[in-house]
Structure 1
Amino acid sequence: MTGNTHIVGGLAASLAYAQFSNYDPVILVGAGVVGALIPDICHGGSKIGKTFPIVSKIINILFGHRSFTHSLLFLFLIGILLHSFVTNESIIMGILVGIVSHLVLDMATKNGIKLLFPIKVTIRFPLTTKTGGKVENIVYAALSLLSVYFGYGVFASYFVN
């Protein structure tokens, strides 16, 4: 998936999570969008890879694309790091929800991900799409609509209370 689809995916996922959690929705959603971009640090052409090119290059040389940073191990390690250094639970959960949204979206692509890294098995859904293709545009539109739907639910009550 492209960076824009990951952004709207992180937005939709964090807004959906905000529906039933007690975390600050503004912080949760902002962190969710950031978290949705983090796994692509392994790709120099990604939004985050362009922002941190040296880190991106090192990670790509060590692990390649869609392996370690697209795994449950990475999610677990990020969770430990966040809980060790970040005191705001809304930030922690937002980033983790965003990362999960990224992994799910990339499992819907033909290349899939190495979810069980270091085990070298590729995980993808039975129905997949090409990154940047017409089906991804439909996914993007659907996630945008879900963001509006969940956003209304979250922020209508947020500003009323």
Structure 2
Amino acid sequence: MTGKTHIIGGIAACLAFGQTSVDSPLLLGTAGAIGALIPDICHGGSIIGRTFPALSKLINGLFGHRSFTHSLLFLLIVAWALHTYVTNDAIKMGLLIGMASHFVLDMCTKQGIQLFFPIKVKVRFPLTTRTGSKIEGAVALCLLIACLYFSFEIMHLH
């Protein structure tokens, strides 16, 4: 999936979660958008990879693409670090939900992800698509509609 689809997916997932926890929906959604980009630090051409090229190159050299940074192990390490060093719950939850949404969206691609890294098994859904395809565009549109729906729902909760 492209960075744009990941951002929309991270926001949509956070806004859906925000239906139960609406203390800071804007902060939650913003953190979700950022969290949705984090796993692609292993890819030099990604939005976050271009932002931090040295770190991206190092991580890609050590692990490759869609392995460690797309795994439950990475998610647990980040969760521990956030729990230890970040006090704001909306930021913590947004980052983690955004990362999890990234994993789900990349499992919709033919390449899949190494969800159980260091085990070298690729996990993907039975029906997949190619990154940048028209199907991905349709998924992004559906996620955008979900963002609008959940935004209106959150506004009605206040």
Q: TM-score, normalised by structure 1?
A: 0.96
Alignment of 1:103-118 (within 5 A): 103-118=103-118
- Can you give the 5+ residue segments of structure 2 that lack an aligned partner in the other structure? none
**Contact kept in structure 1, 2:114 and 2:123, CA below 8 Å:** yes
CA contact (8 A) 2:41 2:55 kept: yes
1:47 aligned onto 2:47 = yes
Identity level (%): 59
Partners of 1:106 and 1:113 within 8 A in 2 = yes
- Say yes or no: does 1:125 pair with 2:125: yes
Give the corresponding residue for 2:11.
Answer: 11
Give 2:74's aligned residue: 74
Number of aligned residues: 158
CA–CA distance in structure 2, aligned partners of residues 131 and 4 of structure 1: 11
- Structure 1 position 26, deviation (Å): 1.4
SS in 2 for 1:49: helix
1:18-49 deviation line (CA, Å, top 9, x unaligned): 01125421111110110000000000000000
TM-score (norm 2): 0.98
Find the aligned partners of 1:61 and 1:142 in 2 and give their Cα distance. Answer: 35
Moved over 6 A (4+): none
Q: CA deviation at 1:157?
A: 2.8
Q: CA RMSD in A?
A: 0.8
Q: Distance in 2 between matches of 1:139 and 1:85?
A: 34
Question: Partner of 1:88 in structure 2?
Answer: 88
Kindly tell me: are residues 97 and 23 of structure 1, through their superposed partners in 2, closer, same or farther at Cα, counting changes over 3 Å? farther
